[in-house]
């Protein structure tokens, strides 16, 4: 039996404005209109319409919720796939004021009144944010929908689900929730709201089974905040993170965004990404006039403010050293690139050992990287740091050699190393020079290795490249000790490191001669021309930027590296820039590589390195 106009009118009177969707819902349950009206399913039309409405968060919200002016609540079309993906892990990389808070409030109301469409008997969720003020906005939106403001009396169909909340020490909203097992016996649903604080301590003691949400996630910077947040999630709990990007790529939120995938299907592992720029909003929220307003407000479309708040993109850091638009053209597919990560844990006599290749992915014109794991294992640490030189070397060879066999050792290679102490990571980058391009081949990150283990690590890498690379090494405490051993110990004689491996001090002045042999000449106090001298760190940085602008690198989409580059900032000093010191190990390794390469250049001016300030051997 088909719908009659009378039945359709009844549906519209009941707030069901999508009769065709109800038809499909009936068919999906194997029901027909005729049998439903005859009572064949022991369900009345009203009960069927209620079930149809409750199962879907969009229908529920648009049926029972109202706008502030009393109009029916309506979600934008772009919001509907997101709220319907409540049973996936989701990350939102959005512009400002595009409906994030509206979605959070609507999803929490639907989930904790209906038991997530009848799938949870006692749902509980956690909502966190860097500051309480962000949580207050969500709490106010929920209470406004329920009509429970004492100073604004009103009635809401949802008010019957409201239970007295807990307000101290943190807000916990409580709801009378549908019970799928016993519809006549409602259960309790709770939503806890907690500010992150500096260490996430407020998250402790909360354990939730439905949703764990982070609002303004880009501003939750400390790793410990996220660690405590993750602890609250019980098996089966889904996570959602919402934020406008802020340009800081060394955060947990950026990591989630980088790993998330647009259009991830239900049942697939990982995070589903939603990207809502202001430009997808309907008028009057977006128009040519609004665009012009934001261009004027933020000083142009290419500015960080416009990129983040309007387009929902990460943009550049404030005062960046390396711009994203300079880096990205140098990022290509490098099937032979390998990333090796070693983490020493002396307390447990273990070395965590991982090898990845990086697969470049392009979605909707945007590049991203997917790390393909080749091995992830743990081996005994003691043989790799033991006192027996021959045994230690044999164990390092056994560990590394199988993962370096793809390297063709006949090329021209340049390597840079920033060597760390036990609590400071070591970074090594090796690139092959091909037709003027520096093509990255290997990156090694090591933590917790003593100096004699780092010398063996460099030796094994060097041997895999045919003992051909030119090496630049930062002469910090670790670098000085390692360079000295590689130059002087008999067991490294076959590598002839004294001819190829040079230590550089970043703070020392060098003559500013580029890779092309051209020097920067300035007039001195006597009016005579002389080659400009600058700190080694600054000149290496300038040469790296110049090569990036010329698309002279071929880099993998290695997220950690790109994050470090795009988050690296500098401020102006008395004469030279002062570069930021956080998360700069990958960059310092690249600087050392550049300094080594510059050292090999024959200058068009007289020997610009004759002063010896460019390098200093540790021997």
String of DSSP letters for 259-308: H-EETPPTTSSSEEEE---GGGSPTTTSSHHHHHHHHHHHTSTTSHHHHH
Compare 230 and 318 and report the one with higher pLDDT: 230
Range of lowest pLDDT (213-222, 316-325, 499-508): 316-325
Cα separations in angstroms, 3 against 32, 325, 520: 10, 57, 83
Residue 30, classed as helix, strand or coil, is coil
Look at residue 592 and tell me whether its pLDDT is greater than 70.
Answer: yes
Residue ranges of the chain that CATH labels 3.30.420.240? 329-338+386-599
Q: What percent of the chain has pLDDT over 70?
A: 93
If you average pLDDT over each of 36-40, 47-51, 62-66, 480-484, which comes out highest? 480-484
Q: What pLDDT, on the 0 to 100 scale, is given for residue 2?
A: 44
Cis omega (within 30 of 0) for bond into 263: no
pLDDT digit string (tens) for 360-386?
988 777 788 889 999 999 999 999 999
Q: What pLDDT, on the 0 to 100 scale, is given for residue 183?
A: 75
463 confidence band (pLDDT: 50, 70, 90): very high
CA 174 from centre of chain = 33
Q: What pLDDT, on the 0 to 100 scale, is given for residue 618?
A: 36
- The mean per-residue pLDDT over the stretch 491-520 comes to 93
Cα separations in angstroms, 227 against 196, 209, 254: 11, 17, 15
Look at residue 433 and tell me whether its pLDDT is greater than 70.
Answer: yes
- The mean per-residue pLDDT over the stretch 309-326 comes to 86
If you average pLDDT over each of 4-18, 156-170, 575-589, 602-616, which comes out highest? 575-589
Q: Is 304 left (phi over 0), alpha (psi -120 to 50) or beta?
A: alpha
Among 169, 170, 172, smallest CA distance to 192 is for 172
Strands 366-380 and 350-363: antiparallel
Distance linking the first and last C-alpha atoms of the chain: 94
Range of lowest pLDDT (124-133, 228-237, 357-366): 357-366
- The mean per-residue pLDDT over the stretch 79-107 comes to 95
CA torsion, points 442, 445, 450, 456, in degrees to nearest 10?
-10
Q: What pLDDT, on the 0 to 100 scale, is given for residue 131?
A: 92
State which fold the 69-276 domain adopts: Rossmann fold (3.40.50)
Q: What percent of the chain has pLDDT over 90?
A: 64
- The mean per-residue pLDDT over the stretch 76-103 comes to 95
- CA-based max dimension of the chain: 106
In the predicted model, what is the mean pLDDT of the chain?
Answer: 88
3 confidence band (pLDDT: 50, 70, 90): very low
Q: What pLDDT, on the 0 to 100 scale, is given for residue 475?
A: 94
Q: What pLDDT, on the 0 to 100 scale, is given for residue 151?
A: 44
Q: How many CB atoms lie within 10 A of CB 286?
A: 18
Q: Which long-range contacts (CB under 8 A, 24 or more apart) does 349-353 make?
A: 349/380, 349/381, 349/382, 350/378, 350/379, 350/380, 350/381, 351/378, 351/379, 351/380, 351/381, 351/384, 352/376, 352/377, 352/378, 353/377, 353/378, 353/379, 353/399
Q: What pLDDT, on the 0 to 100 scale, is given for residue 610?
A: 33
Residue ranges of the chain that CATH labels 3.40.50.300? 69-276
- The mean per-residue pLDDT over the stretch 576-594 comes to 93
- The mean per-residue pLDDT over the stretch 497-525 comes to 90
Residue 24 parent element (H or E): helix 19-28
- The mean per-residue pLDDT over the stretch 226-246 comes to 95
pLDDT digit string (tens) for 388-407?
999 999 999 999 999 999 99
∠ at Cα 587 (480, 253), nearest 5°?
130
Cα separations in angstroms, 609 against 356, 478, 512, 615: 39, 25, 10, 9
Q: Are 218 and 129 in contact (CB under 8 A)?
A: no
State which fold the 329-338+386-599 domain adopts: Nucleotidyltransferase; domain 5 (3.30.420)
Compare 310 and 153 and report the one with higher pLDDT: 310
DSSP state string for 427-478: EEEEEEEETTEEEEEEEEEEES--HHHHHHHHHHHHHHTTT--EEEEE-SHH
Q: What pLDDT, on the 0 to 100 scale, is given for residue 612?
A: 32
| Count of residues making up the chain | 619
Q: Are 317 and 567 in contact (CB under 8 A)?
A: yes
User: Per the structure block, which two tokens stand in for 313?
Assistant: 């993109």
Look at residue 607 and tell me whether its pLDDT is greater than 70.
Answer: no
- The mean per-residue pLDDT over the stretch 21-27 comes to 80
Compare 278 and 571 and report the one with higher pLDDT: 278
Contacts of 100 (CB under 8 A, 6+ apart): 92, 94, 215, 242, 276
Query: Exposed (0-12), middle (13-18) or buried (19+): which is 33, by Cβ within 10 Å?
Result: middle
Cα separations in angstroms, 95 against 68, 100, 137, 213: 23, 9, 18, 18
Map tokens 């990086």 to a residue: 358
Q: Which long-range contacts (CB under 8 A, 24 or more apart) does 569-575 make?
A: 569/317, 569/318, 569/319, 569/320, 569/321, 570/319, 570/321, 571/319
Q: How many CB atoms lie within 10 A of CB 2?
A: 8
* Cross-strand bridge partners of residue 437: 434
Q: What pLDDT, on the 0 to 100 scale, is given for residue 13?
A: 59
Q: What pLDDT, on the 0 to 100 scale, is given for residue 73?
A: 86
Q: What pLDDT, on the 0 to 100 scale, is given for residue 233?
A: 96
Q: What pLDDT, on the 0 to 100 scale, is given for residue 203?
A: 94
Residue 234, classed as helix, strand or coil, is coil
Residue 501, classed as helix, strand or coil, is strand
Q: What pLDDT, on the 0 to 100 scale, is given for residue 156?
A: 65
pLDDT digit string (tens) for 417-432?
999 977 789 999 999 9
Task: Say what the pTM is.
Answer: 0.67
């Amino acid at each position: 039996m088909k719908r009659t106009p009378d039945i359709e009118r009844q549906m519209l009177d009941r707030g069901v404005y999508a009769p065709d969707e109800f038809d499909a819902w009936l068919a999906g349950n194997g029901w027909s209109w005729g049998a439903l009206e005859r009572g064949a399913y022991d369900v009345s039309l009203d009960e069927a319409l209620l079930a149809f409405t409750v199962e879907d968060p969009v229908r529920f919200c648009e049926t029972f919720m109202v706008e502030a002016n009393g109009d029916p609540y309506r979600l934008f079309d772009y919001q509907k796939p997101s709220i319907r993906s409540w049973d996936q892990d989701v990350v939102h990389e959005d512009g400002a004021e595009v409906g994030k808070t509206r979605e959070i409030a609507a999803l929490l109301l639907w989930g904790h009144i209906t038991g997530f469409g009848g799938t949870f008997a006692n749902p509980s969720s956690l909502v966190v944010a860097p500051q309480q003020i962000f949580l207050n906005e969500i709490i106010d939106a929920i209470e406004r929908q329920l009509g429970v403001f004492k100073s604004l009396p009103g009635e809401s169909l949802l008010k019957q689900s409201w239970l007295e909340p807990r307000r101290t020490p943190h807000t916990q909203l409580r709801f009378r929730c549908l019970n799928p097992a016993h519809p006549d016996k409602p259960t309790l649903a709770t939503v806890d709201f907690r500010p992150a604080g500096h260490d996430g301590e407020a998250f402790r003691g909360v354990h939730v089974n439905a949703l764990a949400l982070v609002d303004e996630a880009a501003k939750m910077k400390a790793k410990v905040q996220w660690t405590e947040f993750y602890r609250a999630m019980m098996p089966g709990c889904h996570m959602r993170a919402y934020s406008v990007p802020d340009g800081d790529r060394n955060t947990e939120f950026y990591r989630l965004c980088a790993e998330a995938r647009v259009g991830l299907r239900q049942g697939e592992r990982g995070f589903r990404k939603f990207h809502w720029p202001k430009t997808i909003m309907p008028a009057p929220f977006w128009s040519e006039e609004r665009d012009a307003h934001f261009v004027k407000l933020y000083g142009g479309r290419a500015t960080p403010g416009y990129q983040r708040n309007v387009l929902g993109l990460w943009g550049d850091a404030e005062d960046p050293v390396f711009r994203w638009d300079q880096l990205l053209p140098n990022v290509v597919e490098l099937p032979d690139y390998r990333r090796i990560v070693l983490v020493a844990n002396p307390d447990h006599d273990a070395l965590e050992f991982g090898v990845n290749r990086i697969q470049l992915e392009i979605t909707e014109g945007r590049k991203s990287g997917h790390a393909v794991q080749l091995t992830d294992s743990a081996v005994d640490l003691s043989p790799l740091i033991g006192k027996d030189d021959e045994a230690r070397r044999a164990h390092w060879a056994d560990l590394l050699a199988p993962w370096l066999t793809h390297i063709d050792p006949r090329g021209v290679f340049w390597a840079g190393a920033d060597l760390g102490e036990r609590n400071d990571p070591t970074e090594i980058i090796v690139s092959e020079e091909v037709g003027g391009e520096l093509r990255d081949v290997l990156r090694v990150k090591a933590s917790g290795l003593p100096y004699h283990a780092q010398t063996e690590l460099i030796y094994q890498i060097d041997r895999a490249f045919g003992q051909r690379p030119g090496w630049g090494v930062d002469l910090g405490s670790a670098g000085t000790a390692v360079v000295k051993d590689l130059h002087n110990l008999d067991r490294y004689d076959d590598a002839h490191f004294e001819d190829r491996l040079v230590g550089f001090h970043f703070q020392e002045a060098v003559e500013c001669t580029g890779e092309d042999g051209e020097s920067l000449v300035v007039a001195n106090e006597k009016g005579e021309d002389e080659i400009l001298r600058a700190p080694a760190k600054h000149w290496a940085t300038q040469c790296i930027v110049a090569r990036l602008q010329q698309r002279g690198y071929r880099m993998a989409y290695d997220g950690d590296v790109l994050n470090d580059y795009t988050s690296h900032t500098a401020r102006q000093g008395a004469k030279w820039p002062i570069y930021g010191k956080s998360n700069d190990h990958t960059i310092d390794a690249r600087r050392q590589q550049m300094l080594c390469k510059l050292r090999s250049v024959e200058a068009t001016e007289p020997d610009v390195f004759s002063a010896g300030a460019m390098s200093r051997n540790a021997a």
